Structure 1
C-alpha cells in the first residue's frame, strides 16, 4: 500500500503480538478491507490499537522530556533545553496517527458488524476503548505540536484524507472532549490497569480539563479516581515502577520477555546492557537526591561507575518495564492544582493533596501560611509534578501550560522565551509526505 497523506503510513491494521497486554493472541497481516467482521476480529483489531500505542508512547515521552530541563543527551550533557528542528524534534507524530487510524477502523466498522454472538455490551466495550485511545492520541499530539489535522475516518487509500488542513488547538481539544464523552458512556466502571475502562477515562478527563483550565471539572474527575479504593499511593515510591499493575497504576502499558520494551536501552549504560542515549540532567539529579525535595524518589536513579546517574524507571534489561500512561499520583496533583486555581480557591485542600504525594516519598509537608497565595501554591505544585512525574512526558507540557516556559526554559536557552518554541516542530518527514500539512511557525 502506498504512503498515505497525514502521515498515516499504514491504512490497514497490520498487527503484531501484544498477548501479555490483553491476553489475546492477534492474527497477523489482516487486510484492511475485511479486518473487522465479527466479535473475534473486532477484539483482534483492538489489540492492534494498543500495540500501536506501545509503538509510540516512549517516542513521545522522550521527545517532550528532551525539550525540557529534566533530560539531556548523554553525549551532549551541557545542551539543556536545546533548540529544536524538524529534523531532530521527535515526539512520535506519524506513529500516533497510525494508532488513531487503527482506532478509526474500529469506530467506523464495529457498529455495522453482523454477528449474533457479538453482544451490545461487548460492542460498547470495544468502541469505548477505541474512543479512549483516539482521544489519548490526539491529546498527545496537541500537547506536543499544537492543533493538528483531525482525521476521524479510516484511511482506505493514499488520497482518503487529501486536502485535510490543520485544525486549531481549541478544535483539537473539542474533539478530544467529544471522544472522551463517548468513551465514558460506553465503558464500565471496573478496575483494569491494562485496558481502558471508565476509571481510565475519568483520569484522562482530569488531565484534559487541566490542559484547558476547566478547574471544576478537573477536580471532579480526579476525585472520582482518588475516591475509589482500587487506587492508592503505594509505598515505598519504587513499588510503582518495580511492580506490574500496582495500586498506583490507573492505566499502564505492560511488557514481558516475549513482548519487550526496549526503552531501557536508551537509559542504561553499556555495562547494564544499554546504549546510554539519555540521562537525567545534573541539576535535576541534585534535586532528586535532596531528602527535602526528592526523598525516596531518588530510587529512580542509579549511579554508574564513572559517576553519572542513570534512570532505572525503565531499567529492566529483560524488557519487562511498564510505561505509565495514568497513575494516581498525577490525579492528586491535578486535584491540588484545580483546587488552587478554581474561582474560589481551596488552598488548604490543594496542600492536602500536595502533601499526600510528598508523604508517600518521605518529603516534609508544606504548611499553609496566612500569607500563602494561589501563585505560590501553584508553583509548589508545578515543582512537585517535576519531582513526582519526572520521566513520563509531563515536564515540558506543565511548564508551558502554566505560563512559565519563558522564565524557566528561557533562563537556560533564551530562544525559548519565544512562544513559537513552546510547541515542537512537526517532523520534516511528515511535512514532506503531506502537502496539506503546514509547519509550526518559527521552524
Structure 2
C-alpha cells in the first residue's frame, strides 16, 4: 500500500511540448478537401495522427501517471502539485494535468477525424493497392485507442467522430455521450481497422495484431470473456510475435518481437522526456527529485529471483535518500530528448489477457495455466501448478499479480484495478478513495465553455 512521501525539494525538470513523428512534417493542421488531393497528402495527415501520441500530456509521460502513480505501483515523486493531487485522490476539476490531457487527446482525435473524413472522400484509384483502406484503418485504430483512454479516465465524454469544420456553438459544444455508446464506437473503429490493417507494416505503424490486441483489452474491460479470449488467440495465431528471452532487452532496445505497438521516439526533436524524469543521476542528464517513485508495496511484489525487478527498478544513492528506488524501464537519457520508445501493447500482455479470459470462462483451464507459466518462465520463476492455484479466484489473484510485475510502470495497473473492481479495496486503507473517485473530473475549463457538458459526480 502507499504511504505518501513528503519531500520538499524543487524539481529541475522542464516538461517539453509535443514531439514530431518519423521524418516528415505533420500536415494534419491543414484540413479540408482542398488539402487532400493526392496520396502524399493523406500520408502526411496520417503522420500527424501518430505524432499526436508523443506529447508529455499523453504517452510521453501522463499515461504512466494515470496507470501507475494513481495505483499502488508508484508515488508521484517530483514536486508537481497536479501529480500529487492525482496520487492522493484529491484531484479537482482545475487540475493542470487533466486539462492538458483532455486537450491533447481531443486534438489527437481531431486529427484522426480529419484523415478519416477526407481520405474516405478520395478516389481509391489514386492509391496503390489497398493503401487507401489501410490509411483509414490506421486512423481508426488510433481513434479507437484515444477513446479507450478517454473513457477509462473520464467516463462519459463527448463522442466526436466527424471533422469539425466551423466554430458555431452547435458544432463545437458536444454533450456527454454514454459509456456504452463510447465503447460501441471503439469496437466499431477497431473492428474496421482489423479488417484492413496488414499483418506487417512499417516500423512504428499499427498492424492487424495491434488492433486485435487492443480490442481484446476492450472486451476484457467489459467482461466479454469469450471475445477477449478469441481476439487474443487471433494475435497468437498470427505467429508474428514472441517473448524475448531476456526481459531486460525490452528496455535496452525497442520494436522487438514482443512489441505489438509502441510510440516511437528517435531522439533530439523527436525525443522522449521520461528517462530524465525517472532515472537517477548520473544515468539521467540532471540531478533533481525524480517522478514516479516505486512504492514499497510494488518493490515487495516481486518474488525472489524475478529478473523483472532489476530490469524495472534501479536503486541509487541520491541527495534525497540512500538506496532510493527509481523507475528503470525508460533509459538512454539525453537531456529530455531520449531515443526511447514507450510501449502501448506487448505480447506478454496478450498472453495474460487470454489466460484471464479463459479462467473466467472455465476453471480449471490448462491453457490458462500454461500461458501464465510462459510469462513466469521468461522471468526466471518456477511454473505454478494446479495445486498453487486451487480455485478460480486463486487463479485470478495469480494472473493479476503477474500482470502487475510484468507490466509495472507501463501505464496498466490502475486500469487493471478498475476493470476488476479492486481499486477501492486495494487503496482505501490509505487514501480517501470512493466510487466517485474512480473517474477523474472533466476539466472545469471545458465545463465553463460548453453548456452541454456535465461534470462527473462528486466534483
What secondary structure does 2:310 align onto? helix
Query: Match for residue 31 of structure 1?
Result: 30
What is the alpha-carbon distance in structure 2 between the residues aligned to residue 371 and residue 151 of structure 1? 45
* Local SS of the residue matching 2:106: helix
In structure 2, what is the equivalent of residue 199 of structure 1? 209
Match of 2:95 among 76, 88, 97: 88
Q: What is the CA–CA distance in structure 2 between the aligned matches of 1:435 and 1:266, rounded to whole Å?
A: 38
Task: Give me the TM-score of the superposition, normalised by structure 2.
Answer: 0.85
Number of residue pairs matched by the alignment: 420
Which residue does 1:101 correspond to in 2?
110
Deviation, structure 1 residue 226: 2.0
Distance 1:380 1:35 in 2: 53
> Partner residue of 1:4?
none
Separation in structure 1 between the aligned mates of residue 457 and residue 380 of structure 2, nearest angstrom? 44
State the match for 1:280 in structure 2. Answer: 294
Residue 255 (str. 1) matches residue 273 (str. 2): no
Segment drifting more, 307-316 vs 71-80: 71-80
Separation of aligned partners in 2, 1:426 and 1:291: 42
After TM superposition, the structure 1 = structure 2 runs for residues 232-247 of structure 1, keeping only pairs within 5 Å, are 232-247=242-257
Deviations 1:190-241 (A, max 9, x none): 2555211211111111111111111111111111222333211112111112
Partner of 1:12: none
Distance 2:84 2:162 in 1: 44
Aligned partners of 1:110 and 1:71: how far apart in 2?
42
**In terms of mean alpha carbon deviation, does 109-118 or 402-411 score higher?**
109-118
Give the alignment partner of residue 149 of structure 2, picking from 140, 145, 150. 140
Contact 1:37 / 1:113 at 8 angstroms: preserved in 2? Answer: yes
The alpha-carbon deviation at position 184 of structure 1 amounts to 1.4
91-100 vs 364-373, which moves further: 364-373
User: 2:182 aligned with 1:172, yes or no?
Assistant: yes
**CA contact 1:39–1:115 (8 Å) conserved in 2:** no
Asked whether the 8 Å contact 1:66–1:81 carries over to 2, the reply is no
Structure 1's 324 and 177: CA in aligned 2 closer, same or farther, altered over 3 A? same
Equivalent runs, 1:334-413 vs 2, <5 Å? 334-342=353-361, 344-369=362-387, 372-413=390-431
Counting only pairs closer than 5 Å after superposition, residues 153-164 of structure 1 correspond to structure 2 as 153-159=162-168, 161-164=171-174
Tell whether the 8 Å contact from 2:26 to 2:51 is kept in structure 1 after alignment. Answer: no
> Of the candidates 120, 138, 155, which is equivalent to residue 129 of structure 1?
138
Pick from 180, 198, 201: which aligns with 1:188?
198
Quick one: distance in 1 between partners of 2:130 and 2:95? 45
Residue 140 to residue 78, structure 1, CA distance change in 2 (3 Å): closer
Tell me how far 1:371 sits from its aligned partner.
7.5
Distance of aligned partners of 1:331 and 1:227 in 2 relative to their CA distance in 1, 3 Å threshold: same
Show CA shifts across 1:58-84 (max 9, x none): 322213322111111225899965432
The answer to whether the Cα contact below 8 Å between 1:191 and 1:230 also exists between their aligned partners in 2 is no
Distance 2:411 2:292 in 1: 14
Cα shift readout 1:250-297 (whole Å, capped 9, x = no counterpart): 111121123101122321235422541331112212334x426x4333
Inter-CA distance 193–240: structure 2 relative to 1 (3 Å threshold): farther
Counterpart-to-counterpart distance in 2, 1:370 and 1:75? 40
Matched, 1:300 2:312: yes
Equivalent residue in structure 1 for 2:304, among 291, 300, 307: 291
Question: Quick one: distance in 2 between partners of 1:29 and 1:127?
Answer: 14
1:38-92 alpha-carbon deviations (Å, 9 max, x no partner)? 1001000000000001222232221332211111122589996543222337352
SS in 2 for 1:166: coil
CA distance in 1, matches of 2:213, 2:96: 28
433-442 or 71-80, larger mean C-alpha shift: 71-80
Contact 2:19/2:271 (8 A) holds in 1: no
Decide which moves more: 87-96 or 350-359.
Answer: 87-96
Q: Distance in 2 between matches of 1:297 and 1:192?
A: 32
CA distance 1:67–1:296, change in 2 (3 Å): closer
Aligned counterpart, 1:3 = none
1:66 to 62, 65, 69: 69
TM-score by length of 1: 0.88
Q: What is the CA–CA distance in structure 1 between the aligned matches of 2:278 and 2:52, rounded to whole Å?
A: 22
